[in-house]
Protein backbone atom coordinates (compact mmCIF):
# COMPACT_ATOMS: atom_id res chain seq x y z
CA UNK A 1 0.00 0.00 0.00
CA UNK A 2 1.36 3.42 -0.93
CA UNK A 3 1.87 6.13 1.62
CA UNK A 4 1.87 9.83 0.83
CA UNK A 5 4.85 12.08 1.51
CA UNK A 6 2.67 14.04 3.92
CA UNK A 7 1.76 10.98 5.99
CA UNK A 8 5.37 9.78 5.92
CA UNK A 9 6.45 13.07 7.46
CA UNK A 10 3.70 12.91 10.08
CA UNK A 11 4.62 9.40 11.09
CA UNK A 12 8.30 10.31 11.20
CA UNK A 13 7.43 13.03 13.71
CA UNK A 14 4.74 11.32 15.78
CA UNK A 15 5.49 7.65 15.25
CA UNK A 16 2.93 5.00 14.34
CA UNK A 17 0.51 5.57 17.23
CA UNK A 18 -2.82 6.23 15.52
CA UNK A 19 -4.13 8.80 17.99
CA UNK A 20 -0.96 10.83 17.68
CA UNK A 21 -1.37 11.74 14.04
CA UNK A 22 -5.03 11.21 13.16
CA UNK A 23 -5.85 14.90 13.55
CA UNK A 24 -3.27 15.90 10.95
CA UNK A 25 -4.39 13.53 8.22
CA UNK A 26 -4.89 15.13 4.83
CA UNK A 27 -7.84 14.96 2.44
CA UNK A 28 -7.68 13.07 -0.84
CA UNK A 29 -8.51 14.59 -4.23
CA UNK A 30 -8.78 13.21 -7.77
CA UNK A 31 -9.64 14.73 -11.13
CA UNK A 32 -10.19 13.08 -14.54
CA UNK A 33 -10.60 15.35 -17.57
CA UNK A 34 -10.95 14.26 -21.19
CA UNK A 35 -10.33 17.27 -23.40
CA UNK A 36 -12.19 15.69 -26.33
CA UNK A 37 -15.29 15.36 -24.10
CA UNK A 38 -15.27 11.56 -24.29
CA UNK A 39 -17.43 10.30 -21.44
CA UNK A 40 -16.75 7.64 -18.83
CA UNK A 41 -19.06 6.40 -16.11
CA UNK A 42 -18.60 7.16 -12.44
CA UNK A 43 -17.12 3.77 -11.55
CA UNK A 44 -13.65 4.96 -12.61
CA UNK A 45 -13.52 7.98 -10.31
CA UNK A 46 -15.05 5.88 -7.52
CA UNK A 47 -12.12 3.47 -7.62
CA UNK A 48 -9.55 6.25 -8.02
CA UNK A 49 -10.64 7.99 -4.80
CA UNK A 50 -11.39 4.78 -2.92
CA UNK A 51 -7.72 3.82 -2.96
CA UNK A 52 -6.99 6.96 -0.92
CA UNK A 53 -9.08 5.89 2.06
CA UNK A 54 -6.23 6.43 4.52
CA UNK A 55 -6.64 10.14 3.85
CA UNK A 56 -10.22 10.30 5.15
CA UNK A 57 -12.22 9.34 8.21
CA UNK A 58 -15.68 8.75 6.78
CA UNK A 59 -16.97 12.25 7.49
CA UNK A 60 -17.22 13.38 3.88
CA UNK A 61 -17.00 12.20 0.30
CA UNK A 62 -18.28 13.59 -2.97
CA UNK A 63 -18.14 13.88 -6.73
CA UNK A 64 -18.79 16.42 -9.48
CA UNK A 65 -19.49 15.32 -13.05
CA UNK A 66 -19.83 17.26 -16.31
CA UNK A 67 -21.85 16.23 -19.35
CA UNK A 68 -24.36 14.16 -17.36
CA UNK A 69 -27.53 16.00 -18.41
CA UNK A 70 -27.39 16.26 -22.23
CA UNK A 71 -31.18 16.49 -22.43
CA UNK A 72 -31.11 19.68 -20.33
CA UNK A 73 -27.76 21.13 -21.37
CA UNK A 74 -29.15 24.66 -21.75
CA UNK A 75 -30.78 24.67 -18.32
CA UNK A 76 -29.17 25.26 -14.95
CA UNK A 77 -29.23 21.92 -13.14
CA UNK A 78 -29.93 22.92 -9.54
CA UNK A 79 -29.26 20.15 -7.02
CA UNK A 80 -30.78 21.01 -3.63
CA UNK A 81 -30.30 19.23 -0.32
CA UNK A 82 -33.17 19.51 2.15
CA UNK A 83 -31.95 18.86 5.68
CA UNK A 84 -35.43 18.34 7.10
CA UNK A 85 -36.36 15.46 4.82
CA UNK A 86 -38.97 14.85 2.15
CA UNK A 87 -41.86 16.44 4.05
CA UNK A 88 -40.02 19.54 5.24
CA UNK A 89 -41.94 22.81 4.97
CA UNK A 90 -38.88 24.50 3.46
CA UNK A 91 -39.45 22.56 0.23
CA UNK A 92 -42.66 24.49 -0.43
CA UNK A 93 -40.88 27.76 0.27
CA UNK A 94 -37.99 26.97 -2.08
CA UNK A 95 -40.23 25.72 -4.87
CA UNK A 96 -42.49 28.77 -4.64
CA UNK A 97 -39.38 30.94 -4.86
CA UNK A 98 -38.13 29.04 -7.91
CA UNK A 99 -41.52 29.38 -9.61
CA UNK A 100 -41.37 33.12 -8.99
CA UNK A 101 -37.81 33.66 -10.24
CA UNK A 102 -37.29 30.94 -12.85
CA UNK A 103 -38.86 28.83 -15.54
CA UNK A 104 -38.77 25.28 -14.12
CA UNK A 105 -38.50 22.98 -17.13
CA UNK A 106 -38.38 19.77 -15.11
CA UNK A 107 -37.84 18.60 -11.55
CA UNK A 108 -37.50 15.24 -9.86
CA UNK A 109 -35.91 13.50 -6.92
CA UNK A 110 -32.23 12.71 -7.24
CA UNK A 111 -32.16 8.90 -7.16
CA UNK A 112 -30.62 7.44 -4.02
CA UNK A 113 -29.90 3.85 -3.05
CA UNK A 114 -29.64 3.45 0.74
CA UNK A 115 -27.20 0.83 1.95
CA UNK A 116 -26.37 -0.77 5.27
CA UNK A 117 -23.50 1.70 5.56
CA UNK A 118 -25.58 4.78 4.66
CA UNK A 119 -29.20 3.80 5.38
CA UNK A 120 -30.54 7.34 5.10
CA UNK A 121 -29.62 10.95 4.45
CA UNK A 122 -31.15 14.33 3.63
CA UNK A 123 -33.72 14.66 0.86
CA UNK A 124 -32.21 15.54 -2.54
CA UNK A 125 -34.06 17.03 -5.47
CA UNK A 126 -32.96 18.56 -8.79
CA UNK A 127 -34.54 21.35 -10.81
CA UNK A 128 -33.71 22.26 -14.40
CA UNK A 129 -34.33 25.98 -14.64
CA UNK A 130 -33.61 29.28 -16.37
CA UNK A 131 -34.11 32.67 -14.71
CA UNK A 132 -37.15 34.54 -16.00
CA UNK A 133 -36.02 37.47 -18.12
CA UNK A 134 -38.55 39.80 -16.52
CA UNK A 135 -37.10 38.92 -13.10
CA UNK A 136 -33.50 39.75 -14.05
CA UNK A 137 -32.54 43.26 -12.85
CA UNK A 138 -31.26 45.73 -15.42
CA UNK A 139 -27.53 45.30 -15.90
CA UNK A 140 -27.47 41.71 -14.69
CA UNK A 141 -26.81 38.62 -16.78
CA UNK A 142 -28.59 35.28 -16.52
CA UNK A 143 -25.58 33.97 -14.56
CA UNK A 144 -25.78 36.93 -12.16
CA UNK A 145 -29.45 36.21 -11.55
CA UNK A 146 -28.70 32.53 -10.94
CA UNK A 147 -26.03 33.35 -8.36
CA UNK A 148 -28.54 35.59 -6.55
CA UNK A 149 -31.06 32.74 -6.57
CA UNK A 150 -28.52 30.28 -5.15
CA UNK A 151 -27.50 32.67 -2.38
CA UNK A 152 -31.13 33.37 -1.50
CA UNK A 153 -31.92 29.66 -1.15
CA UNK A 154 -28.81 29.01 0.93
CA UNK A 155 -29.85 31.66 3.44
CA UNK A 156 -33.39 30.27 3.91
CA UNK A 157 -32.25 27.58 6.34
CA UNK A 158 -32.40 23.78 5.94
CA UNK A 159 -32.12 24.05 2.15
CA UNK A 160 -28.75 24.20 0.42
CA UNK A 161 -27.86 24.33 -3.26
CA UNK A 162 -25.26 21.63 -3.84
CA UNK A 163 -24.67 22.53 -7.49
CA UNK A 164 -26.16 24.94 -10.03
CA UNK A 165 -24.27 24.64 -13.31
CA UNK A 166 -25.45 23.64 -16.75
CA UNK A 167 -25.04 19.98 -17.75
CA UNK A 168 -23.24 19.11 -14.51
CA UNK A 169 -24.05 18.00 -11.00
CA UNK A 170 -22.61 17.25 -7.58
CA UNK A 171 -23.27 14.21 -5.39
CA UNK A 172 -21.87 14.34 -1.87
CA UNK A 173 -22.47 13.51 1.77
CA UNK A 174 -21.17 12.04 5.01
CA UNK A 175 -19.33 8.77 4.43
CA UNK A 176 -16.30 7.42 2.67
CA UNK A 177 -16.35 8.35 -1.04
CA UNK A 178 -17.11 4.85 -2.28
CA UNK A 179 -20.08 4.71 0.08
CA UNK A 180 -21.35 8.05 -1.23
CA UNK A 181 -20.81 6.77 -4.77
CA UNK A 182 -22.96 3.73 -4.01
CA UNK A 183 -25.61 5.83 -2.24
CA UNK A 184 -26.08 7.95 -5.39
CA UNK A 185 -25.00 5.11 -7.74
CA UNK A 186 -22.73 7.41 -9.71
CA UNK A 187 -21.80 4.59 -12.09
CA UNK A 188 -25.17 5.35 -13.71
CA UNK A 189 -23.87 8.78 -14.79
CA UNK A 190 -21.49 9.39 -17.69
CA UNK A 191 -19.33 12.48 -17.88
CA UNK A 192 -16.22 13.81 -19.63
CA UNK A 193 -14.88 15.57 -16.53
CA UNK A 194 -14.97 14.26 -12.96
CA UNK A 195 -13.56 15.35 -9.62
CA UNK A 196 -13.75 13.52 -6.30
CA UNK A 197 -12.90 14.13 -2.66
CA UNK A 198 -12.18 12.09 0.45
CA UNK A 199 -12.60 14.31 3.50
CA UNK A 200 -10.88 14.49 6.86
CA UNK A 201 -12.38 17.63 8.46
CA UNK A 202 -10.19 19.37 10.98
CA UNK A 203 -11.59 22.81 11.80
CA UNK A 204 -15.14 22.41 10.47
CA UNK A 205 -17.97 19.94 11.13
CA UNK A 206 -18.53 16.75 9.19
CA UNK A 207 -22.04 17.19 7.77
CA UNK A 208 -23.69 16.51 4.42
CA UNK A 209 -23.47 20.09 3.19
CA UNK A 210 -19.86 20.42 4.30
CA UNK A 211 -18.59 17.61 2.07
CA UNK A 212 -16.72 18.54 -1.12
CA UNK A 213 -17.04 19.51 -3.96
CA UNK A 214 -18.20 23.11 -3.51
CA UNK A 215 -19.71 24.92 -6.45
CA UNK A 216 -21.22 27.99 -7.96
CA UNK A 217 -22.66 27.87 -11.47
CA UNK A 218 -20.28 25.75 -13.59
CA UNK A 219 -17.36 25.97 -11.12
CA UNK A 220 -16.63 23.08 -8.77
CA UNK A 221 -13.64 22.58 -6.48
CA UNK A 222 -12.09 19.88 -4.31
CA UNK A 223 -9.39 20.84 -1.87
CA UNK A 224 -6.73 19.30 0.32
CA UNK A 225 -5.40 21.59 3.02
CA UNK A 226 -6.51 24.54 5.09
CA UNK A 227 -7.48 28.04 3.95
CA UNK A 228 -6.09 30.29 6.68
CA UNK A 229 -7.27 33.41 4.81
CA UNK A 230 -10.91 32.26 5.01
CA UNK A 231 -12.08 35.20 7.14
CA UNK A 232 -10.53 37.80 4.85
CA UNK A 233 -11.73 36.01 1.71
CA UNK A 234 -15.25 35.62 3.12
CA UNK A 235 -15.62 39.31 4.03
CA UNK A 236 -14.34 40.37 0.60
CA UNK A 237 -16.78 38.04 -1.18
CA UNK A 238 -19.73 39.28 0.87
CA UNK A 239 -19.22 42.76 -0.61
CA UNK A 240 -20.12 41.26 -3.99
CA UNK A 241 -23.11 39.14 -2.99
CA UNK A 242 -21.44 35.81 -2.24
CA UNK A 243 -22.41 34.36 1.14
CA UNK A 244 -20.64 31.42 2.78
CA UNK A 245 -23.25 29.26 4.51
CA UNK A 246 -21.75 25.76 4.41
CA UNK A 247 -19.43 25.97 7.44
CA UNK A 248 -16.16 25.23 5.67
CA UNK A 249 -13.18 27.19 4.40
CA UNK A 250 -13.20 25.54 0.96
CA UNK A 251 -16.43 27.25 -0.07
CA UNK A 252 -14.59 30.51 -0.77
CA UNK A 253 -12.51 28.97 -3.56
CA UNK A 254 -15.29 28.48 -6.11
CA UNK A 255 -16.70 31.92 -5.31
CA UNK A 256 -13.32 33.65 -5.70
CA UNK A 257 -12.72 31.98 -9.06
CA UNK A 258 -16.21 32.92 -10.27
CA UNK A 259 -15.75 36.54 -9.17
CA UNK A 260 -12.36 36.87 -10.83
CA UNK A 261 -13.13 35.18 -14.15
CA UNK A 262 -16.84 35.67 -14.82
CA UNK A 263 -17.52 38.96 -13.02
CA UNK A 264 -14.19 40.74 -13.46
CA UNK A 265 -13.14 39.17 -16.75
CA UNK A 266 -9.69 37.98 -15.68
CA UNK A 267 -8.09 35.19 -17.66
CA UNK A 268 -7.78 31.80 -16.00
CA UNK A 269 -4.01 32.38 -15.78
CA UNK A 270 -4.42 35.72 -14.01
CA UNK A 271 -7.08 34.33 -11.67
CA UNK A 272 -4.70 31.55 -10.65
CA UNK A 273 -1.97 34.10 -9.98
CA UNK A 274 -4.32 36.15 -7.80
CA UNK A 275 -5.22 33.09 -5.74
CA UNK A 276 -1.64 31.86 -5.36
CA UNK A 277 0.67 34.80 -6.17
CA UNK A 278 4.42 35.15 -6.21
CA UNK A 279 6.17 36.77 -3.28
CA UNK A 280 6.56 40.55 -3.46
CA UNK A 281 10.34 40.31 -3.74
CA UNK A 282 10.01 37.96 -6.72
CA UNK A 283 7.58 40.33 -8.43
CA UNK A 284 9.95 43.25 -7.86
CA UNK A 285 12.89 41.22 -9.18
CA UNK A 286 10.96 40.24 -12.32
CA UNK A 287 9.74 43.84 -12.79
CA UNK A 288 6.36 42.29 -13.49
CA UNK A 289 4.04 45.30 -13.45
CA UNK A 290 0.90 43.36 -14.28
CA UNK A 291 1.49 40.92 -11.41
CA UNK A 292 2.21 43.83 -9.10
CA UNK A 293 -1.09 45.47 -10.06
CA UNK A 294 -3.04 42.22 -9.56
CA UNK A 295 -1.60 41.75 -6.07
CA UNK A 296 -2.50 45.32 -5.18
CA UNK A 297 -6.05 45.11 -6.55
CA UNK A 298 -6.92 41.67 -5.22
CA UNK A 299 -5.09 41.41 -1.92
CA UNK A 300 -8.23 40.13 -0.16
CA UNK A 301 -8.68 37.37 -2.75
CA UNK A 302 -5.28 35.81 -2.08
CA UNK A 303 -5.64 32.27 -0.74
CA UNK A 304 -3.24 31.63 2.14
CA UNK A 305 -2.40 28.42 3.93
CA UNK A 306 -1.37 24.97 2.69
CA UNK A 307 -3.62 23.87 -0.16
CA UNK A 308 -3.84 21.73 -3.26
CA UNK A 309 -6.96 22.08 -5.40
CA UNK A 310 -8.57 20.77 -8.55
CA UNK A 311 -11.10 23.26 -9.88
CA UNK A 312 -13.31 22.48 -12.86
CA UNK A 313 -15.48 24.78 -14.98
CA UNK A 314 -17.34 24.64 -18.28
CA UNK A 315 -14.16 25.39 -20.25
CA UNK A 316 -11.80 22.97 -18.53
CA UNK A 317 -9.91 22.53 -15.28
CA UNK A 318 -7.07 23.94 -13.22
CA UNK A 319 -4.74 22.31 -10.72
CA UNK A 320 -3.13 24.65 -8.22
CA UNK A 321 -1.24 24.42 -4.95
CA UNK A 322 0.15 26.94 -2.51
CA UNK A 323 3.40 28.63 -3.43
CA UNK A 324 5.31 26.66 -0.77
CA UNK A 325 3.95 23.36 -2.14
CA UNK A 326 2.84 22.14 1.27
CA UNK A 327 0.04 20.11 -0.34
CA UNK A 328 1.57 18.63 -3.52
CA UNK A 329 -0.55 17.37 -6.39
CA UNK A 330 0.48 14.83 -9.02
CA UNK A 331 -0.60 15.32 -12.65
CA UNK A 332 -0.51 12.97 -15.61
CA UNK A 333 -1.62 12.78 -19.23
CA UNK A 334 -2.64 9.78 -21.33
CA UNK A 335 -3.62 10.92 -24.81
CA UNK A 336 -6.43 13.44 -24.40
CA UNK A 337 -7.12 12.44 -20.78
CA UNK A 338 -5.58 14.39 -17.91
CA UNK A 339 -5.39 13.24 -14.32
CA UNK A 340 -4.74 15.10 -11.09
CA UNK A 341 -4.46 13.49 -7.69
CA UNK A 342 -3.03 13.86 -4.22
CA UNK A 343 -1.65 10.31 -4.70
CA UNK A 344 0.07 8.85 -7.75
CA UNK A 345 -1.45 5.46 -6.96
CA UNK A 346 -4.91 6.71 -8.03
CA UNK A 347 -3.55 7.61 -11.44
CA UNK A 348 -1.65 4.34 -11.85
CA UNK A 349 -4.76 2.39 -10.90
CA UNK A 350 -6.60 3.81 -13.90
CA UNK A 351 -3.62 4.10 -16.28
CA UNK A 352 -0.53 2.05 -15.37
CA UNK A 353 1.28 3.61 -18.35
CA UNK A 354 1.16 7.36 -18.89
CA UNK A 355 2.48 9.71 -21.56
CA UNK A 356 3.57 12.30 -19.01
CA UNK A 357 3.74 12.50 -15.22
CA UNK A 358 4.73 15.50 -13.14
CA UNK A 359 4.17 17.41 -9.91
CA UNK A 360 3.62 21.14 -10.44
CA UNK A 361 5.88 23.59 -8.66
CA UNK A 362 4.49 25.61 -5.77
CA UNK A 363 2.07 28.22 -7.09
CA UNK A 364 2.33 26.86 -10.64
CA UNK A 365 -1.07 26.46 -12.27
CA UNK A 366 -1.78 23.51 -14.54
CA UNK A 367 -4.49 24.67 -16.94
CA UNK A 368 -6.39 22.15 -19.04
CA UNK A 369 -8.74 23.42 -21.75
CA UNK A 370 -11.61 21.39 -23.13
CA UNK A 371 -12.10 21.17 -26.89
CA UNK A 372 -14.80 23.50 -28.13
CA UNK A 373 -18.17 21.82 -28.09
CA UNK A 374 -19.61 21.19 -31.53
CA UNK A 375 -22.72 23.20 -32.33
CA UNK A 376 -25.56 20.88 -33.29
Q: How many CB atoms lie within 10 A of CB 57?
A: 17
Distance (Å, whole) CA 50 – CA 178: 6
Contact by Cβ (8 Å): 168, 73: no
Distance (Å, whole) CA 204 – CA 330: 26
Return the HEC string of the chain: CCCCHHHHHHHHHHCCCHHHHHHHCCCEEEEEEECCCCCEECHHHHHHHHCCHHHCCCCCEEEEEECCCHHHCCCEEEEEEECCCCCCHHHHHHHHHHHHHEEEEEEEECCCCCCCCCCCCCEEEEEEEEECHHHCCCCCCHHHHHHHHHHHHHCCCCEEEEECCECEEEEEECCCHHHHHHHHCHHHCEECEEEEEECCCCCCCCCHHHCCCEEECCEEEEEEECCCCHHHHHHHHHCCCCCCCCCCCCHHHHHHHHHHHHHCCCCHHHHHHHHCCCCHHHHHHHCCHHHHHHHHHCHHHCCCCCEEEEEEECCEEEEEECCCCCCCCEEEEECCEEEEECCHHHHHHHCCCCCEEECCCCCCCEEEECCCCCCC
Q: Which of 18, 45, 49, 156 is nearest to 95 (CA)?
A: 156
Contacts of 347 (CB under 8 A, 6+ apart): 48, 330, 332, 339, 341, 354, 357
Contact by Cβ (8 Å): 343, 2: yes
Active site residues: 27
Amino acid sequence: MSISIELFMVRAIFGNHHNSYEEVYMCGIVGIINTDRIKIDGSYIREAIRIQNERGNGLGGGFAAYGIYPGHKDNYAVHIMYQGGKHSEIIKTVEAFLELRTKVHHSDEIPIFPTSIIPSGPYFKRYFVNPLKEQIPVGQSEDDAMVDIVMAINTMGDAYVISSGKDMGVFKGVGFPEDIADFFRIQDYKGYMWIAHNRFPTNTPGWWGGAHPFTILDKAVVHNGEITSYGTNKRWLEMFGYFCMLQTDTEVLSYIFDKLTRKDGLSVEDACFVMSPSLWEDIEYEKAEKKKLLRQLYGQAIVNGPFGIVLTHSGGAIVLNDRNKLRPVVCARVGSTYYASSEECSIRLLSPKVDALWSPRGGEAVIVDLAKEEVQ
